[in-house]
Amino acid sequence: MALQTANAGIHYNFINGEWCASSSNQTITNVSPSNTKDVVGVVQKSTLEDLNQAAASAKESEKAWRKLTGNERAAFLYKAADLLEDRIDEVANCMAREMGKSLGESKGETARGVAILRYYAGEGLREVGDVIPSTDPDALMFTTRVPLGVVGVITPWNFPVAIPIWKTAPALIYGNTVVLKPATEAAVTCAKVIECFADAGIPAGVLNMVTGRGAVIGQGMADHSDINGLTFTGSNQVGKQIGQSVLARGGKYQLEMGGKNPVIVASDADIDLAVDATISGGIRSTGQKCTATSRVIIQNEIYEQFKDKLIQKVKNIKVGDSLDEETWMGPSASEGQLNTVLSYIEKGKREGAFLLTGGERLSGPEYDHGFYIEPTVFEGVTNEMTIAQEEIFGPVLALMKVDTLEEGLKLANDVDYGLSASIFTKDIRKMLEFIEEMEAGLVRVNAESAGVELQAPFGGMKQSSSHSREQGQAAKEFFTSIKTVFIK
Ligand code: NAD
């Protein structure tokens, strides 16, 4: 059923340039984790039939889209960026309500979405290949890049604007068409981003969105023979399964997954800076960032001083409704997420870690209608404990004491993940040793573990990624294939 537009709190799939209800006639209702009485919107519970239609329309439109010049494709991205900028308050408000990110952070993320769109629009006029000297004096040899065809995009709920855009924008500018499946928990916010593309007049079929259950639509995309490349961000468990499915049918895939990110606080660190960055990196967004600081490895000499300052500040964090301007930390994004975090806290206690602050679900009139949790800090955490090894995705910090930097680095690397890591030190030798030894795709010195600038490559080592990179110029590697040309 084709409808004019998304309205009345109901959000439709976007297939072949039209807003459509799912063939299932079933929907999913999203409520706010800040207040479950607040219904944010209703999205489609789609079927494989809906997905097939989206993939068919993406395939159908691929040739004409690829034939446009980069500059012509860029015009749609610039227009979508302008529309998103105009709607920044509306989109940020929706994000804050739907997944509980504070309003300030939600605005920041939406503004970043605008910047990413403009960055990739600029790619429409940049070089796509190299001239390579031939050994034949009568030949011209060069490389060019061609799109993959139809690209599937599967995204998590924790960055509902930035991640769909940082995958979709490069896919489009390099000439691919897209089928996007956002995380159900944040699909209303993502639908608002797609509305910007729709209102920018993107040609029918070039960008499609299908909402629904991961096990149905996500897996359906992984298995779909018309989807030539699939880019996924989410948990390791799901990512590995998707990767195997795409590999089995010879498709191209990219997986960006979890983290267990350390910060090392060296004995010569600026302690106030390290404390603020540890809190910002670990607790902002309720700890729900793949790059969130989780393990805090502190040298003995400054341990007590760092701990005292940290605890004092953590206790003063204002937790509340994500729409409240005073709120620094909103709720967990869902009841399931809250329960996961609480179960990790219980495991921490049971396995012998010492709870310094937090650890409980918040209650009271301000909190009873949402999924609020106290910012939590443990000490006495040893490396074999579950909270030292597994991704928690909540506002939980594990303090670990070491004598030397060497010991700290060993500990920092002794996990399966390798996404991001920080060190706080003024000593250039320590910085260089950290940069050299740290097994992480993103290493930061005197800056929090969370965050990367949009023009720089982003991705993990070890179990955090399929070893590919997103963002900046690195995106070109996934979203295109190199063609080597020889002209005699
Ligand atoms: P998730 O793996 O549960 O879901 C991610 C996406 O996959 C969603 O769209 C979901 O609907 C879909 N999905 C779920 N089950 C599926 C299945 N069986 N088959 C196919 N698709 C399925 O992850 P999440 O809870 O939405 O997000 C949190 C995770 O994402 C964390 O592990 C976090 O570290 C990771 N993450 C990583 C990065 C990064 O860039 N490395 C960025 C943000 C989040």
Q: How confident is the model at residue 451 (pLDDT cuts 50, 70, 90)?
A: confident
Say how many Å lie between the CA of residue 155 and the centre of ligand 1: 6
pLDDT(1) > 70: no
Q: What does the block give as tokens for 335?
A: 């009841």
Q: From CA 422, how far away is CA 277, in angstroms rounded?
A: 9
pLDDT digits 0-9 by tens, 181-208: 999 999 999 999 999 999 999 999 999 9
- Residue 7 confidence (pLDDT): 45
Q: What does the block give as tokens for 420?
A: 């991001």
C-beta 195 within 6 A of ligand 1:
no
Q: What does the block give as tokens for 348?
A: 């921490």
pLDDT(459) > 60: yes
Say how many Å lie between the CA of residue 481 and the centre of ligand 1: 26
Q: From CA 21, how far away is CA 15, in angstroms rounded?
A: 10
Active site residue 290: yes
**2-257+465-487 has which CATH code?**
3.40.605.10
Class of domain 261-453: alpha beta
- Of all protein residues, the one whose alpha carbon is nearest to atom 18 of ligand 1 is 215
Say how many Å lie between the CA of residue 133 and the centre of ligand 1: 44
> Ligand 1, closest atom to CA 460?
41
Q: Which of 43, 235, 293 to mutate to test the pocket of ligand 1 (most atoms within 8 A of CB)?
A: 235
Query: Cβ neighbours of residue 245 under 8 Å, at least 6 residues apart?
Result: 219, 222, 223
- Residue 56 confidence (pLDDT): 98
Q: From CA 126, how far away is CA 473, in angstroms rounded?
A: 10
Catalytically annotated residue among 290, 374, 391, 470:
290
Say how many Å lie between the CA of residue 157 and the centre of ligand 1: 7
C-beta 96 within 6 A of ligand 1:
no
Q: How confident is the model at residue 5 (pLDDT cuts 50, 70, 90)?
A: very low
Q: What interhelical angle do 162-173 and 70-86 show, nearest 10?
A: 160
> Ligand 1, closest atom to CA 183?
9
Average pLDDT over residues 111-131: 97
Query: Cβ neighbours of residue 67 under 8 Å, at least 6 residues apart?
Result: none
C-beta 219 within 6 A of ligand 1:
yes
pLDDT digits 0-9 by tens, 52-101: 999 999 999 999 999 999 999 999 999 999 999 999 999 999 999 999 99
Average pLDDT over residues 471-485: 98
CB 261 within 8 A of CB 440: yes
Q: What does the block give as tokens for 237?
A: 């468990």
Q: How confident is the model at residue 362 (pLDDT cuts 50, 70, 90)?
A: very high
Active site residue 256: yes
Q: How confident is the model at residue 249 (pLDDT cuts 50, 70, 90)?
A: very high
- Residue 76 confidence (pLDDT): 98
C-beta 242 within 6 A of ligand 1:
yes
- Of all protein residues, the one whose alpha carbon is nearest to atom 12 of ligand 1 is 214
Dihedrals phi, psi of 344, to nearest 5 degrees: -65, -40
Q: What is the CA 263 to chain-centroid distance, rounded? A: 20
Dihedrals phi, psi of 283, to nearest 5 degrees: -115, -25
pLDDT(414) > 90: yes
Domain with CATH 3.40.309.10 in the chain: 261-453
- Of all protein residues, the one whose alpha carbon is nearest to atom 7 of ligand 1 is 214
Q: From CA 102, how far away is CA 95, in angstroms rounded?
A: 9
pLDDT(375) > 80: yes
C-beta neighbour count of 131 within 10 angstroms: 10
Domain with CATH 3.40.605.10 in the chain: 2-257+465-487
Q: From CA 426, how far away is CA 434, in angstroms rounded?
A: 12
- Residue 2 confidence (pLDDT): 41
- Residue 6 confidence (pLDDT): 41
Q: How confident is the model at residue 488 (pLDDT cuts 50, 70, 90)?
A: very high
Q: What is the CA 234 to chain-centroid distance, rounded? A: 7
Q: From CA 30, how far away is CA 200, in angstroms rounded?
A: 26
Question: What per-residue string of b and e applies to 174-209 under the rule 16 or more CB within 10 Å gives b?
Answer: bbbbbbbbbbbbbbbbbbbbbbbbbebebebbbbbb
Could you identify the residue written with the tokens 């490069």?
170
C-beta 156 within 6 A of ligand 1:
yes
Average pLDDT over residues 370-385: 98
- Residue 4 confidence (pLDDT): 36
Question: What is the percent of the chain with per-residue pLDDT over 90, rounded to a whole number?
Answer: 98
C-beta 218 within 6 A of ligand 1:
yes
Catalytically annotated residue among 256, 379, 391, 470:
256
Say how many Å lie between the CA of residue 206 and the centre of ligand 1: 24
- Residue 44 confidence (pLDDT): 98
Mean pLDDT in the chain? 97
pLDDT digits 0-9 by tens, 331-355: 999 999 999 999 999 999 999 999 9
Average pLDDT over residues 94-118: 98
> Ligand 1, closest atom to CA 259?
34
Say how many Å lie between the CA of residue 213 and the centre of ligand 1: 12
More confident residue, 6 or 395: 395
pLDDT(255) > 80: yes
pTM of the predicted model as reported, rounded to 2 decimal places = 0.97
Q: Which of 217, 257, 289 to mutate to test the pocket of ligand 1 (most atoms within 8 A of CB)?
A: 257
Average pLDDT over residues 254-272: 98
C-beta neighbour count of 305 within 10 angstroms: 12
